[in-house]
Amino acid sequence: MRYLPALAIACLLLAGCGNKPRAPDWQMNAHDGLERYARAYLGGKARVEASEFERARDELESTGQPGLVARAELTRCAVRVASLVMEPCEGFERLRADSPAAERAYADYLAGRIAPPDVPLLPPQHRAVAAGQGDAAAVQAIEDPLSRLVAAGVLFRTGRASPQVLAIAGDTASAQGWRRPLLAWLGVQAQRAEQAGATEEAQRLRRRMALAAGER
């Protein structure tokens, strides 16, 4: 399962594929650490995700390359946006001045403020949503589950997430067994149902949230 599609971390860090020489240890360790971090974060395992991220970042810092560390910070921000945690991407912002254009564009996309000329710099799966084609069909067309959730999170951040987008995001998190984003997306759906006076639907969603949270 691919946990880090947003920036294709595996391709960026693991240059040694096929018949090429073995990748340096820092690449393997950073990639594996970011995989474990994302898995733990999405699963709601706070202590594990914090330690795994710090280990991965430490490996990347050993290269002295700001762009690599920036990608790790953007990975952290991406899984948070996928889980509707809309905090500023402070870790990346401290590295922005020394980061490549593609990383700056992706950070702006996550923040909901990407400039149209920068859309082509994004990973292909995010370009339609970034270009304003942010309907449910555009989100559903994204094959990778995490990228789909990230795109839905960007739409939510910019006030463009329709009920269909919310449902797609909830179904995606449920299918992957990702507890943290599932609870977030179900919570938004429940809140909207309550605001619309759909009491029974809201209660049904709250029961799903309790089940996902392990409340017995």
Over range 125-129, report the average pLDDT: 94
CA distances from 47 to 37, 44, 88, 117 (A): 10, 9, 21, 39
> In this structure, are residues 122 and 7 in contact, taking their beta carbons and an 8 Å threshold?
no
Tokens 């020394």 appear where?
Answer: 98
Domain-located, residue 3:
no
Domain, as residue range, for 111: 9-212
Q: Which residue has the higher pLDDT, 11 or 138?
A: 138
- The pLDDT value recorded for residue 6 is 45
- The pLDDT value recorded for residue 47 is 86
- The pLDDT value recorded for residue 20 is 64
Q: What is the pLDDT of residues 171-200, one digit of tens each?
A: 999 999 999 999 999 999 999 999 999 999
- The pLDDT value recorded for residue 22 is 73
Domain-located, residue 119:
yes
Over range 135-152, report the average pLDDT: 94
Q: What is the pLDDT of residues 28-72, one digit of tens each?
A: 999 999 999 999 999 999 889 999 999 999 999 999 999 999 999
Tokens 């905090």 appear where?
Answer: 87
Domain-located, residue 59:
yes
Residue 16 has pLDDT above 70, yes or no: no
Q: At 154, is the pLDDT very low, low, confident or very high (cuts 50, 70, 90)?
A: very high
Tokens, residue 60: 């990347």
Over range 107-130, report the average pLDDT: 96
Over range 11-19, report the average pLDDT: 46
Residue 132 has pLDDT above 90, yes or no: no
The helix (run of H) or strand (run of E) holding residue 186 is helix 179-195
- The pLDDT value recorded for residue 23 is 79
Tokens, residue 21: 């020489």
Domain-located, residue 2:
no
pTM: 0.89
Q: With the C-alpha atoms ordered 8, 10, 101, 38, is the resulting torsion angle positive or negative?
A: positive
Coil/strand/helix, residue 47: helix
Number of domains the chain contains: 1
Residue 3 has pLDDT above 70, yes or no: no
- The pLDDT value recorded for residue 19 is 56
Domain-located, residue 195:
yes
Domain-located, residue 1:
no
Over range 14-36, report the average pLDDT: 76
> In this structure, are residues 77 and 22 in contact, taking their beta carbons and an 8 Å threshold?
no
Q: At 166, is the pLDDT very low, low, confident or very high (cuts 50, 70, 90)?
A: very high
